[in-house]
Structure 1
Amino acid sequence: MKQPLGVILAGGRSTRMGGGDKGLLDLEGRSILTHVIERLAPQVADVALNANGDPARFSETKLPVLPDSVAGHPGPLAGVLAGLDWAAEQGADTIVTAAADTPFFPCDLVPQFLLAAEGMEHPLALAASRDAESGKLWRQPTFGLWPVALRDDLRAALNDGLRKVVLWTDQHGAVTAEFPVMGIDPFFNVNTPQELDVARSIAKKGQ
C-alpha cells in the first residue's frame, strides 16, 4: 500500500471555545495546529488542512486548505470527503485524518492503522482508546484511515443526510486500532478554556 496522505480536520465551529479556530490557540509558544502538523507530517506522504472560511488565516502553515464540499457544516465526514477528493487528485489510495485540536495523539498513529487494516480491500479504520475507569473502548471518529475508493459512496451518504461517522464506517466494516492510555488519553482534545489549561500543563511536562 502507498503511504497515506494526511488531512487535519479543522472545519468545526468551536462553539464551546466561543468560536474561532481552536487549532490557532497558543500551546507552549506554538499553535495547537503546529503541534498536530509536527506529529502527523513524519507519518504521511503529504499534509493538507480541511477548514472553511478564509484560508489566509492558515497561511503560516503553508498547507493546502480544503473546504467542505457539502454545505451546512455537516461535521467531520465532510472534511474526510474533502480530503479524499484531494487525495484522488494526487493519485493516492488512502488518507489518514487527525483533529486540529488534539495535540498529543500517537506518533505511531499511521503504522498502527496500516497494521490494523492489513489485507482489507478498502482499508478503513478508526482509532480508539480505553477509558481508564470504566474500561470502555471509545472510538475516535476524527482519527481514521480512509480509502479513496469509497469517496463517492461517502458523498452519496452525506447528500442523503448521514452525519454520524460510525454509522458510515460500520456499514463498510471498519476495523479499530486501539492505542494505550499512558497517563493521559492520547486523543485528549481541547474543546473548552479549561481543557486548554490542561493541555498547557501536559505540554509543560513534555508529553
Structure 2
Amino acid sequence: MTSFTGVILAGGQGSRMGGQDKGLLELQGKPLYQHVLQRLQPQVNIVLISANRNIDRYQASGCQVITDSMADYPGPLAGMLSGLQHSQTEWVAFCACDSPFLPEDFVARLWQQRGHAPAVWVKSSSRDHPTLALVSRSLKDDLEKWLLRGERRLMQFMREHGGHAVPFADDESAFHNINTPGDLINEEKRS
C-alpha cells in the first residue's frame, strides 16, 4: 500500500481577491482551506499546508505549515517544490485551497490512472487543473532548477517531465475554483 502526503496550496498573494488570503475566506461559515482539508485528509496519510502568511491561523488546523523555499511568491510551483521538499512519502497530492468541492476519491483516481508517469493532474470536461495533481518526489531537484531559471508554467513542467492529464468525468462543479469575490458570493447563494 502506497503512502501519500497531501499538500494544500494556500501560499498565493490572492491578487484576484484584492490581496486577501484566499484559504481563509469563509464559505458556509468556515475557511475555504478547511473545506479542502475535510475532503483531502481521508485520502492521504498526512496533510501539510503551504502558506506564506497567517501561519498561526493555518497551524490552528493541527497540520504542519510549510512556507515557500523561494522568495517573492513565484506561484503554485514554489508551493509544490516546498511540499516535495518536506514530504516523507514518495508521492504528494496537491490541492489548491480554493477548490472546496474536491472529489472524495481524487487521490485514488489519479494514482490508478498515472501509469508510470511521475506527475498527473486533473482534466475536467472543460479544462486542465494542474494544481490538483499527484507528483513524485523524484521531480524535486528538476523542479527547483526549473524555478531558478525563472520558469513558472506548471503544466509545461509536468508535461516535459513525463506527466499527463487524467480525465475526470465528474460534475464540473467538483473542480470549481473560487478565485474572485464574485465566485465566493455565487457559491454562498448556491449553498
Kindly indicate whether the alpha-carbon contact (under 8 Å) linking 1:127 and 1:140 is maintained by their aligned counterparts in 2: yes
* CA positional deviation for 1:63: 1.1
Distance 2:136 2:102 in 1: 21
Aligned to 1:139: 128
Residue range with higher mean Cα deviation, 142-151 or 184-193: 184-193
* CA positional deviation for 1:57: 2.4
Runs of 4+ in 1 over 6 A off after TM superposition: none
Which protein shows a greater Rg?
A: 1
Distance 1:59 1:167 in 2: 32
Letter in 2 for 1:114: W
Structure 1 portions without partners, runs of 5+:
132-137
> Is residue 160 of structure 2 the alignment partner of residue 163 of structure 1?
no
Kindly indicate whether the alpha-carbon contact (under 8 Å) linking 2:118 and 2:161 is maintained by their aligned counterparts in 1: no
Aligned to 1:197: 185
Kindly indicate whether the alpha-carbon contact (under 8 Å) linking 1:141 and 1:165 is maintained by their aligned counterparts in 2: yes
What's the RMSD between the two structures over aligned residues? 1.4
TM-score, normalised on structure 1?
0.88
Structure 2 portions without partners, runs of 5+:
none
* CA positional deviation for 1:117: 1.0
Distance 2:189 2:107 in 1: 26
Q: Specify the SS of the correspondent of 1:58.
A: helix
Kindly indicate whether the alpha-carbon contact (under 8 Å) linking 2:59 and 2:65 is maintained by their aligned counterparts in 1: no
Kindly indicate whether the alpha-carbon contact (under 8 Å) linking 2:118 and 2:162 is maintained by their aligned counterparts in 1: no
TM-score, normalised on structure 2?
0.95
* Percent sequence identity over aligned pairs: 38
The Cα offsets for residues 169-204 of structure 1, whole Å up to 9 and x where unpaired, read as 11112121111242x4321111111100122233x2
